Chains A and B, each alone.
Chain A
């Protein structure tokens, strides 16, 4: 038996760990994978905000005497920015178009294309609608029978808003002040009502209070419902003053004519008589822990009072709240902190939605200046995304090296952004990426596809059943996720070899098996295979008795199951 063949046989009989040992030995020889790439962000024409970010971040590197990771190569960066801006990996064609581009400003150009080119508008809107739907109503919102939210309505509103690039202040104002019905196709439909519709009726709208203040202003007030907060300046009084803004609001059931079936919900404002039935002076009561009753009227977090009347024609409390929120500096800071953490893996504070003197940010000047720039640029989300994705920290490779070893937020260090932090894709990103990997739509109408997607996503959500709508996701690199990737329908679909499938079409391109293997790695991992990986492909081909499609199938299965595929890096 020739040597090569013998070594093939050995590897194929070998178990996983044995193979790993072999690899450790082979890697000791030192193989380099990253191709050198030039800084392709076109430094001369960058917006000034990018320079501000770079300066602030580099200052911290100097302070801590750390060297940042090298720049990520073009292909890896391309994959990264597709995932972050439109929520999926690039196709093989999109990737090679970018890597083959000789322009000095191609990174800036790609960001611009993903944000502004009509071809990507739908996916951009879908991705950001996914992100904000989960923030506003949770992963389980609208999926439960007794939940009055229409997830579909929420997503429609957000998709439309992001597709039209509505400014952030407008979106917030609309969400906070919305009236209308929850469900598309019903009279007075206004999808924005779905943020609050399930949060106002029960327990005097305490959920509306804590969600609105946390999500948009970064103020954690849920503890102050019952007592003064132990760590921040929020007092029980302030909680109920904020709460008073929501007390003119009700969610009403609208029935299918002639039946008891709820067709949809409608969120309305109505006159509020207060708790002693005096609408001119519509006060509310709350209880101190010792049982004493205290009085509250609507007062914003900064102390601004509005009229005490509960009559809508005198004061529309939620309209006033929306107006006051747009004046708050916390609105800007919260959004900037959120977006930064979504692109860079960590925010300036931990948790990101708990702002205030009790929780100092890692880069205070940068957070403030970005917040100010965001406001001055009319709350344009696409501009903010442009600044962040073209900034230096976003260009860095995901490598923890000897010169930035202390930059490890996973073990409790404050983030220095001297490398790109590895993170799991969201369930939504993984779904969309697997669909991309299969290079096929899942079939059916938009509604059917949405339903399929929703069922797939739901399997990873566990609701805790508390009054704050807490929930967890088991989608985090756990065994159920691994099982899903090993054996689930999406994977089966992605690795099909039937005529017209991705692998079938791939097998008809290129000049050699090796070239096709290379394409497979680029499509899934945005890099070329290593020598060892090419070798294993050869061994698999031998094991599959030279059936190349079967070999490609095995390899594609391995690629889609790898951490390198399921992580943003």
Chain B
């Protein structure tokens, strides 16, 4: 019987459960599928993930990762030593204890100092182009690593507390699944028996097929994939991973009870459940005025707590070698402190932080000038960083995608590897 085969886009568990008409019988059948189970275990060992800590607004990396004490541009913060081979700001003492896992790329030099353009560029490795949308980190990683986890039923690209960035030419099925930091997913319950839901889906699919074949337009056919994923989500036990409230109180405390803290905790749970890419947003870095008070009293303590807890937890759980952590915003901020005691947008010389996966930790890569206004070593771009991160995840950036009009497209815009970071 043709329809007894497991259809593409549908997990075996579902397929079995719907044929059997009973979830209990289905999970028993699944348990018996010994070889499938064994393969899944094998896969689990190899699978890589990434967590992007996105600092919306453009953080002043000169006050965090690449301090210039004594320079007129230096600001009031003092550097402290870390467990890695670099110093960072005194207001991140807990992260300082995790720096052997992370490296600071101090020679980032980019050209996009507008929020939207910078956001797009740092997320995709391409400058914005009105004629084509490029896929973001999350979509690329999800797309490339999806095959490592055949058992995954929840979305492979989750963004926490933010919007993430789009899938571009990879298609809507690879767009971010956005949740708030409490992990609550709306409208999950249908309260309808499975059989009837399937029949409704059958009617829906019929309408979809007709529309898509009549219009012959891309968005129409993309929708079917989104419907499939939605259906999986509604019926999956893996949704348990979103229930961050189940963590012990002391763990929640450790990450901090802010949205970002809980978001980082949620990210860890999702990675453990097999989600290949999680983005956690922390906004509020667009400090055109009064920057040092805000950093000292608000932003840095919040970041310190959550980021250190996340990295430490990943290490303790032996996930760090398979999980790349990226910390960045759309650009850095001017070394010059402006008339309002703030710093403005600045892309020419700034820092990003990466670690985990196959990447070397504990290093400071590259140098900026004594006042922080220029990069004095080989400059690195968003393309370079993305290429390096992909390498850390075992993803090839040489692969050519073909867009609908036959144009060959690569991911990460032809960047070069940051050699120091490659183990």
Contact = CB atoms under 8 A, between A and B. Distances in A.
Interface of A: 11-21, 23-24, 27, 33, 203, 222-223, 226-227, 230, 287, 289, 291, 350-351, 398-401, 408, 410-413, 421-424, 459, 462, 464-468, 470-474, 476-480, 482-484, 486-488, 525, 530, 532-533, 536-537, 539-540, 543, 554-555, 557-559, 561-564, 567, 569
Interface stretch (B93-101, B184-192, B352-360): B184-192
A480 B177 contact: yes
B207 A562 contact: yes
B182 to A, nearest CB: 14
A479 B405 contact: no
Contacts of A567: 219-220
A287 B289 CA distance: 14
A400 B217 contact: yes
Interface residues of B, number: 85
A137 B212 CA distance: 36
A479 B230 contact: yes
Nearest to A463: B283
Given A16-B201, A17-B8, A558-B200, A477 B172 contact: yes
Given A27-B213, A479-B230, A223 B186 contact: no
Q: Which 7 A-B pairs have the closest CB atoms?
A: A17-B7, A465-B283, A18-B3, A412-B131, A472-B163, A350-B130, A558-B203
A569 B201 contact: no
Contacts of B163: 462, 464, 471-474
Contact of A400 (B199, B216, B233): B216
Given A14-B3, A227-B113, 9 more contacts: A16-B7, A226-B345, A408-B404, A412-B407, A464-B115, A465-B57, A466-B283, A467-B288, A540-B203
Contacts of A24: 209
A462 B162 contact: yes
Contacts of A398: 215, 217
A15 B10 contact: yes
7 contacts: A16-B202, A21-B3, A226-B345, A400-B215, A487-B190, A532-B206, A562-B204
Contacts of A557: 200, 204
Contacts of B334: 289
B144 interface: no
Contacts of A459: 186
B132 A558 contact: no
A480 B345 contact: no
A287 B336 CA distance: 11
Interface in B1-28: 2-3, 7-10, 15, 18-19
Nearest to A553: B200
Contacts of A470: 115-116, 119
Contacts of A399: 214-216
Contact of A482 (B130, B217, B227): B227
Interface in B275-295: 283-284, 286, 288-289
A478 B175 contact: yes
B132 A486 contact: no
A12 B201 CA distance: 11
Contact of A477 (B204, B223, B231, B286): B223
A231 to B, nearest CB: 11
Contacts of B396: none
A326 B237 CA distance: 60
B178 interface: yes
B190 A27 contact: no
Contacts of A471: 163
B198 interface: yes
B338 interface: yes
A20 B403 contact: no
A411 B403 contact: yes
A524 to B, nearest CB: 9
A213 B334 CA distance: 26
Nearest to A20: B205
A11 B218 CA distance: 27
A554 B200 CA distance: 6
Nearest to A537: B203
A19 B162 CA distance: 37
